[in-house]
Chains A and B, each alone.
Chain A
């Protein structure tokens, strides 16, 4: 039972879902970067060599997509973009400078988290489609050459955007103290909730 001054932010199922996606994403990023540029080719050693990296990457990818779909349909309702979110983005300077008091009130997620969510959703869908097209030896041999060429490019670009977005996501978790705890233990302090997500705080506590 959470102590009375703690608020539950994520259920155990949500946490497990999130971390399963995270582990899969990290494996995908490492194995994908290995084939992205020669500077990262040494990462294939983590997966048992180049051939194993090529074999494993797409299967991990499909697993992550499945896990991500579960997570996305849980989180999507909290990620609708509002006018306040657009103002929040315009005031990004205050966010970065830690001038949080000037910012429009956030609900369960602030605008940055919401845009991250939609960016990852789009990237992962693009990665899924382009990844299936270039999947050797199962699907790629049936695809026309022009489509393969387009798909390898789309796969690389969307992977770059997704990895960049996740780096920002990881940094934000380190930056905003209390966030890591929220996703590991599931709870946040009332002060944390009121400071970072006032609209959500009122909604879950019923207080003003």
Chain B
């Protein structure tokens, strides 16, 4: 087995059970959007720890820089100017990146054994050496996170610094955050911490403040404290009720084992038909007179 802290709980394209004798503590990153000042220290820390240097892009007219996630940019501040109530402008800054779903659509869609794994602490990780570059994980993800590299045709995304977490450290972005908007710990602790923050926000007039831990994907291991939890779309299109697309579930659910079984049945049916009814042979007498 690998490190105990990286025991694998689920593995792509694998139909047999994973070692399940022990359960490590579920971890979570909590992003308190009400405390974020948009400094991008988390982006820099992510680049630094993971040794990533994205291509230098162009200003597209907003603060978002780079403009989108990429194979070399695994986290990104998205800036939204919105008016939740008329005349009341708010600048909502959301740190975007992998949500580390408990029910990961990417892992479900992946056809390559062991290219995507979920550790028992909840982190969903891509093992690029097993990735075949088909892009199926992109169709599976409800948050539009994985990016296919133009250099090597493999997909990349936030690892939640699984290498750091494995040895008892917090992710690089957490360490860099100057305001305490990012915190990391056991999922239970993070939920409790979020509750305190939500109580505080409600006292300050954000009556719809709440925790974003969407049930549609089984909960996530990256959670947000939102001032307007009733309208997550305000935060640069954070989905209100994310779930694995029914098209993907239909494609990857029971359909494929059933279809494979069906193909086997056709072969067997042919064989037994031959055994019982026999071939169509033209009688000798029919040869041309």
Contacts and interface: CB of A to CB of B under 8 A. Distances in A.
Interface of A: 5, 33-41, 44, 50-51, 53-54, 96-98, 100, 134, 136-137, 140-141, 145-146, 148-150, 152-153, 156, 160, 163-164, 167-168, 171, 174-178, 189-192, 194-196
B136 A152 contact: yes
Nearest first, the 10 closest Cβ-Cβ pairs linking A and B are A171-B270, A50-B132, A190-B288, A191-B286, A38-B13, A35-B111, A136-B135, A149-B247, A153-B251, A176-B280
B68 to A, nearest CB: 12
A84 to B, nearest CB: 19
Given A136-B153, A137-B150, A175-B274, A41 B13 contact: yes
Interface string B245-276: 10110110001110110110011001001100
Contacts of B248: 149, 152-153
Interface in B93-145: 109, 111-113, 130, 132-136, 138-139, 144
A38 B11 CA distance: 11
B284 to A, nearest CB: 8
B15 A39 contact: yes
B245 to A, nearest CB: 5
A148 B139 contact: yes
A54 B256 contact: no
A153 B250 contact: yes
Given A96-B277, A164-B266, A148 B138 contact: yes
15 contacts: A36-B260, A37-B259, A38-B13, A54-B132, A96-B273, A140-B148, A145-B144, A150-B247, A152-B247, A156-B255, A171-B266, A171-B270, A175-B280, A176-B279, A177-B282
A40 B281 contact: no
A163 to B, nearest CB: 6
Contacts of B13: 38, 41
Interface of B: 13-15, 109, 111-113, 130, 132-136, 138-139, 144, 148, 150, 153, 245, 247-248, 250-251, 255-257, 259-260, 262-263, 266-267, 270, 273-274, 277-283, 286-288
B133 A137 contact: yes
Grouping DSSP codes into helix (H, G, I), strand (E, B) and loop, the A interface class, with mixed when no group exceeds half, is helix
Nearest to A192: B282
A150 B250 CA distance: 10
Given A5-B288, A176-B279, A149 B260 contact: no
A174 B279 contact: yes
Contacts of A190: 287-288
B132 A51 contact: yes
Contacts of B279: 174-177
Contact of B247 (A33, A100, A153): A153
Given A36-B256, A37-B260, A160-B263, A195 B282 contact: yes
Chain B CB count within 10 A is highest, among A171, A176, A196, for A171
Contacts of A167: 263, 266-267, 270
B282 A51 contact: no
A177 B257 contact: no
Contacts of B111: 34-36, 38, 41
Nearest to A134: B135
Contact of B138 (A96, A145, A174): A145
A50 B112 contact: yes
Contact of A98 (B130, B251, B277): B277
Contact of B260 (A39, A171, A196): A39
Nearest to A160: B259
Contacts of B113: 38, 41
B262 A98 contact: no
B288 A149 contact: no
A174 B274 contact: yes
A79 B136 CA distance: 37
